[in-house]
Amino acid sequence: MEKKITISQLQEVAAQAHEQFKDNTDGKNADYIPYLANINPNLFGISICLLNGQVIEIGDTSYRFGIESVSKVHTAILVLRQYGAEKLLKMIGADATGLPFNSIIAILLENDHPSTPLVNAGAITACSMVEPIGDSGKKWDAIVSNITDLCGSAPQLIDELYKSESETNFNNRSIAWLLKNYNRIYDDPDMSLDLYTRQCSLGITAKQLSVAAATIANRGMNPVTQRQIFDPELSPKITSLISTVGFYERTGDWLYTSGIPAKTGVGGGVMGVLPGVMGISAFAPPLDESGNSVKAQLAIKYIMNKLGLNVFNGEGVAIE
């Protein structure tokens, strides 16, 4: 069976979601990174990129916010591009930690067993793996150009965010050195941590994230630039990583209620991948206690449920 949805239906439901939740004041901006605490909490954007390259945008979709943990997906893709699926599994892993994104206990519990590139520890390991090993400048270029490939346009470093985060990332410094202790970092720990912090400080728009999500949903072919960014066989690997741990310790609840694998960041962005159908992104700074944007979650859930879309439905979807 194939479900048929029109583009105007999709537009209408996205607009309803925006209207319905724009005045919601639940949650609060991330405050452990000073820059993020001061972002306007009323910003709110929703963007959907279809696999024909068409983008639906509602609200603040051109505002550049901190990509934060959503960048973990992008750099996991870079590592998959450079090393392949098997090595990622062996050197980092693909398991949910069931614990908060910045958990140190997760490293101690799994010290003989790698975890996932989508929490801080695995993401710092992923940065350590980016080639060429030992060359911070070239590694950074590879990270940025991979994000540019996926989004179809370049991200821009938010210097103030980078500075703010570098000055306060004591927990992540511990993670980097603990990983070193367990031989789970493959380049200089301080350099790997700095690359991670810098990638989290890249400014990105909701529109760009929806294009990156659509590239994953479209088996590696960016639907806007029409360029094949990664091997189509990597696509289900990436979506499986996102499904397992995209919302950290709240991932099961998220998947159960929304029906879409998605990745969040403390900058307020959420990026969802509906394989073979679309990429969706929403952005709003106030977060729940697990660090996930309140309004972005509400908006994406509303759209998925209203249209009867669900990755586990087992039915094809045609958007025309």
Binding site for ligand GLN (CB under 6 A): 68-69, 101-102, 120, 165, 172, 200, 265-266, 291
Indicate the residue among 63 and 248 with the shorter CB distance to ligand GLN: 248
Q: Which residue has the tokens 């189509």?
A: 232
Q: Using CA atoms, how far apart are residues 157 and 179, in angstroms rounded to an integer?
A: 26
Q: What are phi and psi of 167, to 5 degrees?
A: -75, -15
> What is the smallest separation between the CB atom of 191 and ligand GLN, expressed in angstroms?
16
Written as one string, the DSSP assignment of 243-306 is HHHTTGGGHHHHHHHH-S-EEE-TTSEEEEEETTTEEEEEE-S-B-TTS-BHHHHHHHHHHHHH
> What is the smallest separation between the CB atom of 8 and ligand GLN, expressed in angstroms?
34
Indicate the residue among 50 and 283 with the shorter CB distance to ligand GLN: 283
Indicate the residue among 284 and 309 with the shorter CB distance to ligand GLN: 284
Compute how many other C-beta atoms are within 10 angstroms of the C-beta atom of residue 156. 13
* Residue 8 tokens, joined: 């105007």
* Residue 236 tokens, joined: 């289900």
Indicate the residue among 106 and 266 with the shorter CB distance to ligand GLN: 266
> What is the smallest separation between the CB atom of 315 and ligand GLN, expressed in angstroms?
33
> What is the smallest separation between the CB atom of 292 and ligand GLN, expressed in angstroms?
8
Indicate the residue among 51 and 200 with the shorter CB distance to ligand GLN: 200
Q: Using CA atoms, how far apart are residues 36 and 25, in angstroms rounded to an integer?
A: 16
Q: What are phi and psi of 43, to 5 degrees?
A: -60, 140
Q: What are phi and psi of 16, to 5 degrees?
A: -60, -45
Q: How distant is the alpha carbon of residue 106 from its chain centre?
A: 20
> What is the smallest separation between the CB atom of 235 and ligand GLN, expressed in angstroms?
23
> What is the smallest separation between the CB atom of 194 and ligand GLN, expressed in angstroms?
12
Query: What single DSSP character describes residue 59?
Result: E
> What is the smallest separation between the CB atom of 50 and ligand GLN, expressed in angstroms?
27
Residue nearest to ligand GLN (CB): 69
Indicate the residue among 198 and 219 with the shorter CB distance to ligand GLN: 198
* Residue 77 tokens, joined: 């893709």
> What is the smallest separation between the CB atom of 11 and ligand GLN, expressed in angstroms?
29
Written as one string, the DSSP assignment of 132-198 is STT-HHHHHHHHHHHHHHHHSS--EE-HHHHHHHHHH-HHHHHHHHHHHHTT---S-HHHHHHHHHH
Indicate the residue among 223 and 269 with the shorter CB distance to ligand GLN: 269
Indicate the residue among 200 and 245 with the shorter CB distance to ligand GLN: 200
* Residue 320 tokens, joined: 């025309």
